[in-house]
Amino acid sequence: MKKLLLLALSSAVLIASVERGLSSPVGLWLAKDGAKVRISPCGRGMCGFIAQALKDPASGRPMTDKHNPDPAKRNRPLTGVQTLISMNPAGANKWTGRLYNDDDGQVYTGHLIELGPTSIRIEGCSGSLCGGDELSRIK
């Protein structure tokens, strides 16, 4: 019951901040490569899913999760795959959790950082090395 109440309260605060025009990472985002990511509340944090994957240049078909370590998942379309996992608040405009990288099939420590109302940065880290991309909000 406490978890349900906490979830409801967290969601209400997040929705209220969006309605008042405050910055929030909730929404649809465009990566520089053209892929789209949808970020939404999950639990007390954020999760992100590929909303639209790129098409394979050779075949013209949607890209698949070909680098997944689980052979049974390598032919699934990337659209719908969760990339931001359990991103919990880690300071002002920052969430920390795990990040699935479809480029190599690995899961890394990840960060979601609000740069402003129209841009975010998603980065993954392996040890002390971090890399990532900035995404633009799609209206």
CA distance 75 to 66: 6
Full residue range of the structural domain in which residue 126 is found = 2-137
Q: What is the pTM of this model?
A: 0.79
Percentage of the chain surpassing pLDDT 70?
Answer: 84
Please give the helix or strand (H or E) that residue 7 lies within, else none: helix 2-19
**Structural domain total, the chain:** 1
CATH number at residue 51: 2.40.128.520
Per-residue pLDDT band for 139 (boundaries 50, 70, 90) equals: confident
CA distance 100 to 84: 7
**Residues 120, 25 contacting (CB under 8 angstroms):** yes
Q: How far is CA 53 from CA 10, 30, 99, 124, in A?
A: 30, 11, 16, 19
pLDDT tens digits, one per residue of 36-47? 999 999 988 999
